[in-house]
């Protein structure tokens, strides 16, 4: 039955999603070129508010839970599991006051209205996975921006989406590179649940009448620890929140 509703509602969602991207592309350009970073960021916040709203056209709901007393003005590295591209607008909108910048594939930085423009001009680190030197340089540049501008970063350490919702092993390299440039950053795990089900049938039809959640977990201080250990702790906390077993040791 959900699949049947998806066949009916998915075109409505895609039309609304596409219109939001097309409308906000020139708005972003005007805000960035005429008024600067703050105006551009506000336009991106509003853009993602409307993008999240298109999920509801499918009967889906979004729950974002942040009961943590996170410090504003201190750089943070938000570490999340990754289930679908629909993870991203929710994170951008609900973490907007922390100026969280994404580490993203360079391919996404061109050809997509609004999204590509924001990735190029909003402070994201756009990495080429086939060029390790470029990737490290770009992530390092974001780390410097975090330190100097008190921004935060958003990273998916699995490296790819989990199509069945089962958390993959986290890789610490990206977090370690950020910490080299911004060692005072706070590590904040975020557990994403059920967004993979939205695309369980692929791009068409999208799934319907789902309850999806994003939960911010207690922050982790580095306190002289290695990045590998802290990222493993973040992974285990996310697995625990999702009711999944701890990461296998020694892999």
Provide the residue-wise pLDDT of the chain in tens; the chain has 251 residues. 888 889 999 999 999 999 999 999 999 999 999 999 999 999 999 999 999 999 999 999 999 999 999 998 899 999 999 999 999 999 999 999 999 999 888 998 999 999 999 999 999 999 988 888 899 899 999 999 999 999 999 999 988 888 888 999 999 999 999 999 999 999 999 999 999 999 999 999 999 999 999 999 999 998 888 999 999 999 999 999 999 998 777 55
The pTM (predicted TM-score) of the whole model is 0.93
SS3 50: helix
Query: What per-residue confidence (pLDDT) applies to 39?
Result: 97
Q: Which pair of tokens denotes residue 89? A: 């607008």
SS3 109: helix
For 132, residues 6+ apart whose C-beta sits below 8 A from its C-beta are none
Ranges of H-type helices in 68-217: 87-94, 115-121, 132-149, 173-181
List Cα–Cα distances, 91 to 23, 62, 123, 136, 214, in angstroms: 21, 11, 15, 24, 8
Which residues lie across from 101 on neighbouring strands? Answer: 153
Query: What per-residue confidence (pLDDT) applies to 130?
Result: 84
Give domain 2-241's CATH number out of 2.40.160, 3.40.1130, 3.30.420, 3.40.50. 3.40.1130
Q: Do 158 and 167 meet the contact criterion of CB atoms below 8 Å apart?
A: yes
Query: What per-residue confidence (pLDDT) applies to 250?
Result: 59
Query: What per-residue confidence (pLDDT) applies to 162?
Result: 85
């Amino acid at each position: 039955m959900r699949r049947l509703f998806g066949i009916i509602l998915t075109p409505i969602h895609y039309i609304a999603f596409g219109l939001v991207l097309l409308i906000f592309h020139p708005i972003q350009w005007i805000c960035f070129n005429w008024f600067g970073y703050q105006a551009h960021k506000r336009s991106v916040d509003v853009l993602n508010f409307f993008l999240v709203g298109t999920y509801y056209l499918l009967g889906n709901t979004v729950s974002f839970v942040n009961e943590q007393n996170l410090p504003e003005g201190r750089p943070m590295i938000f570490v999340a599991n990754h289930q679908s591209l629909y993870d991203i607008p929710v994170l951008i909108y609900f973490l907007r006051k922390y100026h969280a910048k994404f580490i993203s594939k360079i391919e996404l930085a061109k050809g997509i209205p609004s999204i590509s423009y924001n990735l190029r001009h909003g402070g994201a680190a756009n990495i080429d996975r086939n060029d390790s030197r470029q990737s490290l340089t770009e992530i390092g540049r974001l780390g410097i921006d975090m330190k100097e501008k008190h921004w935060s970063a958003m990273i998916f350490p699995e490296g790819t989406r989990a199509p069945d919702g089962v958390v993959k092993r986290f890789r610490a390299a990206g977090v370690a590179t950020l910490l080299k440039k911004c060692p005072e950053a706070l590590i904040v795990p975020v557990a994403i649940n059920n967004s993979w089900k939205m695309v369980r049938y692929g791009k068409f039809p999208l799934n319907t009448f789902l309850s999806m959640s994003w939960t911010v977990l207690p922050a982790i201080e580095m306190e002289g620890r290695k990045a590998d250990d802290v990222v493993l702790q973040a992974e285990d906390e996310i697995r625990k929140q999702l009711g999944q077993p701890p990461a296998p040791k020694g892999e």
